[in-house]
Amino acid sequence: MTRRGLLGIHWRSRLGSLLVLLIVAILVGTTAFGAIHPHAWPWLVPVAAALVALVPLVASQFAIGTQRRDLLARITRENFRGIPSSDNNELPLVTQLTLAELGVHRAVLTMPYIRRDQEAIIRRYLDEGAPVLVVGSSMTGKTMTAATVIKNCYGNKRIVAPDSKDALAKLDSIDIILRDTVIWLDDINFLIGAGGITGSAVRRLAADGNIVIATIRARVYDQYLPSSEVQSPEWDTLKVFERVFLSKELSETEKELIASAVNDEVVKDRILSVGLGEYVGAAQLIDENLRLGPSVSPVGYAIIRGAADWRRSGINRPVPSALLPSLAVSYLNENKRYEINVSHIYAAALEWATHEINEEVSLLQQTGSDSFAVFDYALDLLSAEAEELANDIWPVVIDAATPAELLNIGYTAWVSYGVVQIGLEAWTRAAESGVPGVAPKAMYNIAHMFRLEDRPEEAEAMYGRAVNSDDRIIAALAESDLGYLKFRQGEKNKARDLYKNVLANYDDEYARELTHLRLGKVAEAEEDAREAYEWYDLVLRSGFYNLVPQAEIGLAHTDLLDDRVQQARGHFLKAINSGHKIYSPMAAYELAILLLRFGQDEDARSYLRISLDTWNDAISPIAAVALGQLLKHANETEAATKVYRIARESGHARAVPAAAVLLGEILEREGKIEEALKLYEEAATCGIEEIVREAMANVTRLRRERPGGSGT
């Protein structure tokens, strides 16, 4: 901490005594000096009076300091873990916090700690001054791994462990600067988003020499990843971190450590089969209790399912107890729904849902006097089992949500579940809330949705509202997006004007780099390779995770304008190696198509497989169709059939009917005429002209070839 750091001084009890002593000292000193130097009395008395007059000013400064320290003590006790409930408001050392206070679940089974390989990576990033995010499924040991690192390496540093979204902001509001402190952000998803810790705050904390380390469940992290050009508010913070992924799969080194630490062969085999964290953390018991739920306590199980959906909808706070019945109803049969309102049945169901599996774990955990939360591992199991939320859940969560939570609900509904109308309803309510920092983001999100849903007029109107809002960052992004909308409509000059306006009037770094990228796309479309290269190169130097791989793809396109094939290949490879969820598979597909132009079929196949392995809904299904064609031409019919079926299961508007036609051709060769005909008939209804034409030709031919067929 700096001079404004947390202090351990008790001032209030001493203040009155100090002031009395100060006045007495002035009077005694004046009298003594006057006795020794009688000639000094004419000026000594005014000086003494002046000093006494200063005492109230000194007192007021003491009072201000005391009030500030009292406020600091209250903020730290109310918003941070491990602060003693006494007048001592000094931050604890890392060594003073227990594993439980750091958020580590108590193990059901006692065994020696097994060091994970990722600890060395975490230490390296932290020593380099980078903030670190440890990502892993519930019960893979992510919190224990992170806690072990900070205890072993930074035990003598002070630690800040926020318990609320605005805890760090409250410190900042009273001019407290953290330095050389461990910032512990366990389950960071509860601390970010609207009103929470921002990416700029994380950067500032790291730049001030703090050790910033966070954890997040893999399923939640995946939900926040950018998708289809849409970025969640939380990603603005998460993208700042160096990410370390912790898998339940153990490395050979870790297996050797287990072999030396665990003598019981049965226990050893169970650890290797289910995972270390899952075994010691009661995962099997949680799974068994969930499976028994529908039989043992149907209402209790419905309560858990409803509470899980509350979290799955995008709300991170615990569910208020009053909402548990409304959320549970969807998971009860019609003839059993009345039971949720029968007091003794409901009480017994809630008791079953909250009963302790062990000292630390229950399926539904009470988190306050009037709120509950589903245990993380149970939440992961239920989320994996149910792909969608029940329709009746959305109105309940939307009505209960704060304006900031409506932003998350809209994103979750649209991006995670593909429910456009629910996303629009949530964001519309947020936009009409008038809440600063929320309403402009909702307007921008709605405009973005309209653009991607091919509703350009509505998108333009909503972008205009966002541009005219008081939020400068959102206004800059909205004006840049409006330019991109015009570019897609063929109005390149209008797009350029809007882009130049962004660069001239806004300072937001991300919006400016996004605009540089889009100016590169305009120059590329105009086949101005030099200008395109200059814009894309600016973006490369920015380092933005979401923009750099796009710039690499743009540079590949620019190289191809000048027939620099090898240079283009290099840029595609950099985009592939970025690991970006959208642009890595896109670059792999584009590189494969480039290689096919030069007859490099084997290399093309490998990159098409990369596009499939790094799956993205927008591009990977098309890659599957292309790979299927290569396999089909190589007479690898079984493999071609497999990837065509992957394309058909994707739901992609173009890949599904294209794969239907190509798969139908394979089935036709195998003599499965009726199956092939059904696929052709299905493809003929897709509305894509060239696919419809080919499918209808096949339908007509097969019908004509039938005995007595007319082809109609």
Please name which of 646, 682, 641 lies closest in space to residue 663, comparing C-alpha atoms.
641
Percent of the residues in the chain that have a pLDDT greater than 90, as a whole number: 55
Higher pLDDT, 56 or 677: 677
Most confident of 196-205, 248-257, 662-671: 662-671
Higher pLDDT, 85 or 550: 550
pLDDT band at 523 (very low <50, low <70, confident <90, very high): very high
The span from the CA of 269 to the CA of 170, in Å, is 49
**Sheet-wide strand order for 371-374:** 319-320, 371-374, 364-368
Same domain, 165 and 270: yes
Task: Find all residues with CB under 8 Å of 470, minimum gap 6, and list them.
Answer: 436, 440
DSSP state letter for 105: P
* Secondary structure (H, E, C), 292-329: HHHHHCHHHHHHHHHHHHHHHCCCCCCEEHHHHHHHHH
Residue 489 in domain: no
Q: Which of 228, 248, 279 is the last residue of a domain?
A: 279
351 sits in the region (left: phi over 0; alpha: psi -120 to 50; else beta) called alpha
pLDDT band at 174 (very low <50, low <70, confident <90, very high): low
The span from the CA of 294 to the CA of 332, in Å, is 10
Distances (CA, A) of 12 to 57, 504, 510: 16, 54, 48
Instruction: Please tell me the predicted confidence (pLDDT) of residue 1.
Output: 39
DSSP state letter for 388: S
Q: Is the pLDDT of residue 460 over 80?
A: yes
Instruction: Please tell me the predicted confidence (pLDDT) of residue 89.
Output: 58
Cβ count within 10 A of residue 168: 25
Higher pLDDT, 620 or 44: 620
The span from the CA of 477 to the CA of 262, in Å, is 55
pLDDT band at 614 (very low <50, low <70, confident <90, very high): confident
DSSP state letter for 134: E
- Mean pLDDT computed over 165-188: 79
Least confident of 155-164, 211-220, 522-531: 155-164
The span from the CA of 266 to the CA of 277, in Å, is 16
Where are the strands (E) in 163-280, listed by range?
A: 181-185, 211-217, 242-246
- The amino acid occupying position 667 is L
Task: Find all residues with CB under 8 Å of 331, minimum gap 6, and list them.
Answer: 301, 302, 305, 306, 390
Residue 456 in domain: no
Q: Is the pLDDT of residue 17 over 60?
A: no
Please name which of 605, 613, 612, 524 lies closest in space to residue 571, comparing C-alpha atoms.
524
Domain span at residue 129 reads: 94-279
Task: Find all residues with CB under 8 Å of 523, minimum gap 6, and list them.
Answer: 529, 531, 532, 535
Pairing of strands 158-160, 181-185: parallel
Buried b (16+ CB within 10 A) or exposed e, 36-74: eeeeeeeebeeebeebeeeeeeeeeebeeebeebeebbe
Same domain, 224 and 251: yes
Pairing of strands 371-374, 364-368: antiparallel
Whether 189 and 220 have beta carbons less than 8 Å apart is answered as yes
The span from the CA of 597 to the CA of 99, in Å, is 58
Q: Is the pLDDT of residue 376 over 90?
A: no
pLDDT tens figures, 354-369:
988 766 678 998 988 8
pLDDT band at 8 (very low <50, low <70, confident <90, very high): very low
Same domain, 187 and 124: yes
Whether 655 and 691 have beta carbons less than 8 Å apart is answered as no
* Secondary structure (H, E, C), 500-547: HHHHHHCCCHHHHHHHHHHHHHHHHHCCCHHHHHHHHHHHHHHCCCCC
Instruction: Please tell me the predicted confidence (pLDDT) of residue 256.
Output: 76
In the chain, how many domains are there?
3
The span from the CA of 190 to the CA of 161, in Å, is 13
For residue 687, what are its two tokens? Answer: 């509305």
pLDDT band at 195 (very low <50, low <70, confident <90, very high): confident
Residue 33 in domain: yes
Angle between helices 529-542 and 548-561 (to 10 degrees): 160
Q: Is the pLDDT of residue 45 over 80?
A: no
Q: Is the pLDDT of residue 15 over 50?
A: no
Phi, psi (5° rounding) for residue 135?
Answer: -110, 130
Residue 52 in domain: yes
pLDDT band at 289 (very low <50, low <70, confident <90, very high): confident
Same domain, 241 and 166: yes
The span from the CA of 607 to the CA of 612, in Å, is 9
Q: Which of 257, 279, 301 is the last residue of a domain?
A: 279
Least confident of 48-52, 465-469, 484-488, 640-644: 48-52
Distances (CA, A) of 629 to 230, 350, 596, 604: 31, 56, 12, 12
pLDDT tens figures, 572-601:
999 999 988 889 999 999 999 999 999 999
Least confident of 197-206, 243-252, 624-633: 243-252
Same domain, 236 and 158: yes
Same domain, 117 and 219: yes
Task: Find all residues with CB under 8 Å of 33, minimum gap 6, and list them.
Answer: 40, 44
DSSP state letter for 209: T
How far is C-alpha 72 from the geometric centre of its chain's CA atoms? 31
pLDDT band at 60 (very low <50, low <70, confident <90, very high): low
Q: Is the pLDDT of residue 251 over 90?
A: no
Whether 116 and 144 have beta carbons less than 8 Å apart is answered as no
Least confident of 46-60, 61-75, 92-106, 380-394: 61-75
Same domain, 166 and 235: yes
For residue 258, what are its two tokens? Answer: 């287990």
Instruction: Please tell me the predicted confidence (pLDDT) of residue 481.
Output: 96
Same domain, 253 and 131: yes
Residue 311 in domain: yes
Higher pLDDT, 708 or 226: 226
Using the Cα atoms of residue 611, residue 614, residue 616 and residue 617 in order, give the sign of their dihedral.
positive
Residue 25 in domain: yes
Distances (CA, A) of 41 to 25, 37, 46: 17, 8, 9
Name 513's bridge partners. none
Using the Cα atoms of residue 576, residue 582, residue 585 and residue 587 in order, give the sign of their dihedral.
negative
Whether 235 and 224 have beta carbons less than 8 Å apart is answered as yes
Q: Which of 237, 253, 279 is the last residue of a domain?
A: 279
Buried b (16+ CB within 10 A) or exposed e, 402-439: bbbbbbbbbbbbbbbbebeebbbbbbbbbbeeebebbb
pLDDT tens figures, 76-112:
555 565 555 445 557 788 888 888 888 876 655 555 6
pLDDT band at 385 (very low <50, low <70, confident <90, very high): confident
Same domain, 239 and 304: no
Residue 707 burial by CB count (10 A; 0-12/13-18/19+): exposed, middle or buried? exposed
Concatenate the DSSP letters of all residues of 575-596 into one string: HHHTT-TTHHHHHHHHHHHHHH
How far is C-alpha 543 from the geometric centre of its chain's CA atoms? 19
Cα angle 574-577-578, degrees, rounded to a multiple of 5: 90
Same domain, 102 and 246: yes
The span from the CA of 502 to the CA of 483, in Å, is 10
pLDDT band at 11 (very low <50, low <70, confident <90, very high): very low
pLDDT band at 236 (very low <50, low <70, confident <90, very high): confident
Instruction: Please tell me the predicted confidence (pLDDT) of residue 6.
Output: 41
Same domain, 147 and 258: yes
Residue 430 in domain: no
Higher pLDDT, 49 or 363: 363
pLDDT tens figures, 405-440:
999 999 999 988 889 999 999 999 999 999 998 999
Higher pLDDT, 3 or 368: 368
For residue 62, what are its two tokens? Answer: 């003491």
Least confident of 1-10, 450-459, 546-555: 1-10
Reduced DSSP (H G I as helix, E B as strand, rest coil) percent helix, strand, coil of the chain, to 5: 65, 5, 30
H/E stretch holding 625: helix 620-633
Three-class DSSP category at 226: coil
What sections of 361-455 are H helices per DSSP?
376-385, 393-400, 403-411, 420-432, 439-452
The span from the CA of 389 to the CA of 330, in Å, is 10
Please name which of 232, 236, 175, 240 lies closest in space to residue 214, comparing C-alpha atoms.
240
Q: Is the pLDDT of residue 275 over 70?
A: no
Give me the chain's average pLDDT, please: 84
Residue 158 in domain: yes
Instruction: Please tell me the predicted confidence (pLDDT) of residue 104.
Output: 79
Least confident of 41-55, 286-300, 424-438, 602-616: 41-55
pLDDT tens figures, 656-688:
999 999 999 999 999 999 999 999 999 999 999
CATH number of the domain at 224, please.
Answer: 3.40.50
Same domain, 170 and 226: yes
